[in-house]
Amino acid sequence: MSSKTATRTPHARPGAEQPLDPARIRNVALVGHSGVGKTTLVEQLLVLTGAIGRPGTVADGTTASDSDPVEFAQQRSVFLATFPIKAGDVVVNVIDTPGFADFIGELRAGLRAADAALFVVSAADQLDETTRALWEECAAVGMPRAVVVNRLDAPRADLAYTLQSCRTSFGEIGGNAVLPLYLPSPDGTELIDLLSSEDPAHAAERSELIEAIIAESEDESLLDRYLGGDAIDPSVLMADLHTAVGLGHFHPVVAACAGTGLGLPELLRVMVEGFGSPLERRAPMVTGIDGSPATELSCDPSGPLAAEIVRTWVDSYLGRVSLIRMFSGTITADTPLHVSGHGAESRGHPDHDADFKSATLLSSTLEPTDLMVAGDICVVARLSSAETGDTISSQDQPLLIEPWVMPEPLLPLAVRAANRNDEDALAKSLSRVAATDPGLRIDRNAQTGQLVLWCLGEAHADVVLTRLRSSGAQIDTEPVRVGLLATFAGPVSGHGRQVKQSGGHGQYAVCDIDITPLPRGSGVEFADKVVGGAVPSQYISSVEKGARAQLALGINGSVPVTDVRVTLTDGKSHSVDSSDAAFQAAAALAIRDAATRGAVVLLEPIDDVEIVVGDEHIGSILSDLSGRRARVTGTEPLDSNRPGSRSIIHCEIPAVELLRYPYTLRSLTGGAGTFRRSYLRHDPAPPAVAAALTG
């Protein structure tokens, strides 16, 4: 929820003295690419319904303030925001989702909180691949959808072309009807309702619209009656439209212009009458916190309490604040709560469970409230351990809602405290940011020692850095280093002699070793072939320990050695001066001696990569891969209902070549390409690359 206009709006929910009936709630996510005017559209809807006086102000005319410095530094569209709008006796919770691909996690959170999606497209711009991908994502979860064509007043606006693009692109995903419900009048001052229009100029559009709607009607005679010339009451058609939209078989299109206010009342009508209430939307799967089966949820205020945190932020007055979607039950200000977060440990979010005796309950406008019921969206403050994606339930029946699927963050960002005094501040800041950002993965690389933040893209990385610095941590960034290994190119021998005498017991140990390369992935093996007791049996393990320690430390003190067998062949000892420490030191010296006699090869990590792109981009992708030392292992078509053909490119790429690849792939494919990576093996690095990596 934005801490801008919406959070300061003193909008009173209807029936604030009693719980709102779930049937009178609509939760609608605004979806679309950045720049199509989603936020402006919301502001004008707020003006239309009297929630604010003018865009950017609250009802009393003062400018809205912002408690989150990141939202001053970034566009408002980087975070999920909710705006309750009163339409008669219905409250429409409009959820403004980010349009930039880096914030797909916030988008999916918005879809989880919503019961329908309103796609906003621009009449002045072509339908882009990102918007098509978002439509497909909504289709995959069965989300009811409608379309609003915005920016009709733009210089290059072409409504007819945009409508055809929507029909072609969106309609081919699932084979559903995408048809206009309202069109501008010839003078552009009002909209024509095609369901009730008798203008012969729109007869063809009206006929196609009505036939598509009544095809989903439960009254099987309705189509025959219409084709027979009977007049169908518009209220009947609107009811059937509601059914068709809910089934995901029909997607109405509304022409609108946020700049002039054209089409806003009609758009609000579609959200109220065309979209379903939370009672008509299936709740997500739920289990006990131990994974045990639980009763399927329904939107029932008297059912078990089950809510999900869809956004978390920190307010200077309220502390940690959680925006939640209520799926079942009722929550009051004194309800004992249980907060559960499971399944995100791989991203640096350990499993956690916590009980709270009570919490501060607020409406989505941050006004104190006594209770909230199933189907609504509200705010709970002062849940100190709550994170985005957590489940809120009752203490006597703790539950766990299946989390929404998050994309894998693939852009690494290495950070460090500016100085030793900032290390504690950085740790605290990371904890706060991680709690609010499920798209972020925090990794402490054991080999390089770097603190790596895995982000979804450059814009996401910028937001993460801004939030860390705004919370008091002085941090620097540094180039990301990949985890290198080394091995010996061929068999080699080494001699180690640790002899010191400084009074009293000295140190005496001599050992001779052979080092043999092993196949990739073998690790380090140790063998003992000493004969005649040259090295006493009690010191064999000391030699192994010293050899393994030196190999792990690396020949040059930075790159560990692997895929070798170390064989102890001979040695000498002293009855008094030999010791465990002496033989460990001698083994380490033997390893270093062997490195001066034989060639050491640097090994770089190789990742197995799958790239999904439209067929029209395959040529540019393959050309780029050739410059990344990639080995393409195959290409196969991807079976999909999505318009246009897509393929999966399978390849093996050195990890160092993937450090900036998310940015490159987005640039080459217009944001439509995706990829997946996983560690495969370490391979020898070419000499020039090895020099650059260790330079």
Based on the fold, state whether residues 268 and 171 are members of the same structural domain. yes
Owner of token pair 């912002």: 66
Q: Which residues contact 404 (CB under 8 A, 6 or more apart)?
A: 108, 109, 111, 112, 389
Last residue of a domain, one of 453, 478, 503: 478
Check residues 25 and 317 and name the one with the higher pLDDT.
25
473-519: pLDDT as tens digits: 789 999 999 999 999 999 999 999 999 876 667 899 999 999 999 99
Cα distances (angstroms) measured from residue 288 to each of 354, 373, 695: 14, 21, 53
Based on the fold, state whether residues 421 and 377 are members of the same structural domain. no
The pLDDT score that the predictor gives to residue 15 is 39
Check residues 483 and 17 and name the one with the higher pLDDT.
483
Look up the CATH number of the domain holding residue 354.
2.40.30.10
pLDDT confidence band for 596 (50 / 70 / 90): very high
Based on the fold, state whether residues 576 and 617 are members of the same structural domain. no
Residue type, 90: V
The pLDDT score that the predictor gives to residue 644 is 61
378-405: pLDDT as tens digits: 999 989 889 999 999 999 999 999 888 8
The backbone torsions φ and ψ at residue 472, rounded to the nearest 5 degrees and listed phi first, read 110, -5
Identify whether 211 is part of a domain: no
The pLDDT score that the predictor gives to residue 342 is 87
Based on the fold, state whether residues 383 and 324 are members of the same structural domain. yes
In the chain, the number of structural domains is 5
Q: Is the pLDDT of residue 575 over 60?
A: yes
The pLDDT score that the predictor gives to residue 313 is 87
Identify whether 228 is part of a domain: no
Based on the fold, state whether residues 460 and 505 are members of the same structural domain. no
Based on the fold, state whether residues 59 and 138 are members of the same structural domain. yes
For the segment 664-688, the average pLDDT, to the nearest whole number, is 91
The pLDDT score that the predictor gives to residue 14 is 41
- Is the four-CA dihedral 122, 124, 127, 129 of positive or negative sign? negative
The pLDDT score that the predictor gives to residue 19 is 61
pLDDT confidence band for 295 (50 / 70 / 90): confident
Based on the fold, state whether residues 564 and 593 are members of the same structural domain. yes
**DSSP letter (8 states) at residue 189:** S
- Asked if 123 contacts 152 with a C-beta cutoff of 8 angstroms, the reply is yes
Identify whether 664 is part of a domain: yes
Give the percent of the chain with pLDDT over 90.
51
Based on the fold, state whether residues 181 and 123 are members of the same structural domain. yes
Last residue of a domain, one of 478, 499, 532: 478
- Give the bridge partners for 27, in sequence order: 93
How far is it between the farthest Cα atoms of the chain?
116
Look up the CATH number of the domain holding residue 561.
3.30.230.10
Look up the CATH number of the domain holding residue 189.
3.40.50.300
Q: Is the pLDDT of residue 640 over 70?
A: no
For the segment 140-153, the average pLDDT, to the nearest whole number, is 91
Of 97-101, 146-150, 170-174, 354-358, minimum mean pLDDT range: 170-174
Look up the CATH number of the domain holding residue 462.
3.30.70.870
Q: Is the pLDDT of residue 628 over 80?
A: yes
pLDDT confidence band for 78 (50 / 70 / 90): low
Q: Which residues contact 500 (CB under 8 A, 6 or more apart)?
A: 506, 507, 508
Identify whether 218 is part of a domain: no
Chain mean pLDDT for the chain: 86
The pLDDT score that the predictor gives to residue 327 is 96
Identify whether 237 is part of a domain: no
Of 426-440, 505-519, 600-614, minimum mean pLDDT range: 426-440
Check residues 574 and 606 and name the one with the higher pLDDT.
606
Identify whether 223 is part of a domain: no
For the segment 260-288, the average pLDDT, to the nearest whole number, is 93
Q: Is the pLDDT of residue 129 over 90?
A: no
User: For residues 341 and 327, what is the distance between their CA atoms, to the nearest angstrom?
Assistant: 17
Identify whether 13 is part of a domain: yes
Identify whether 266 is part of a domain: yes
Based on the fold, state whether residues 290 and 276 are members of the same structural domain. no
The pLDDT score that the predictor gives to residue 121 is 95
Look up the CATH number of the domain holding residue 662.
3.30.70.240
Q: Is the pLDDT of residue 693 over 80?
A: yes
Based on the fold, state whether residues 509 and 624 are members of the same structural domain. no
User: For residues 68 and 461, what is the distance between their CA atoms, to the nearest angstrom?
Assistant: 17
Check residues 32 and 344 and name the one with the higher pLDDT.
32
Last residue of a domain, one of 401, 436, 461: 401
- Asked if 391 contacts 404 with a C-beta cutoff of 8 angstroms, the reply is no
The pLDDT score that the predictor gives to residue 53 is 64
Q: Is the pLDDT of residue 296 over 60?
A: yes
pLDDT confidence band for 219 (50 / 70 / 90): confident
Our separate counts of H helices and E strands in the chain read 16, 32
**DSSP letter (8 states) at residue 685:** P
- The most confident of the ranges 45-54, 118-127, 663-672 is 118-127
Based on the fold, state whether residues 612 and 577 are members of the same structural domain. no
Q: Is the pLDDT of residue 61 over 60?
A: no
Domain with 72 in it: 6-202+250-280
Based on the fold, state whether residues 74 and 168 are members of the same structural domain. yes
Region at 35 (left for phi over 0; alpha for psi -120 to 50; beta for the rest): left
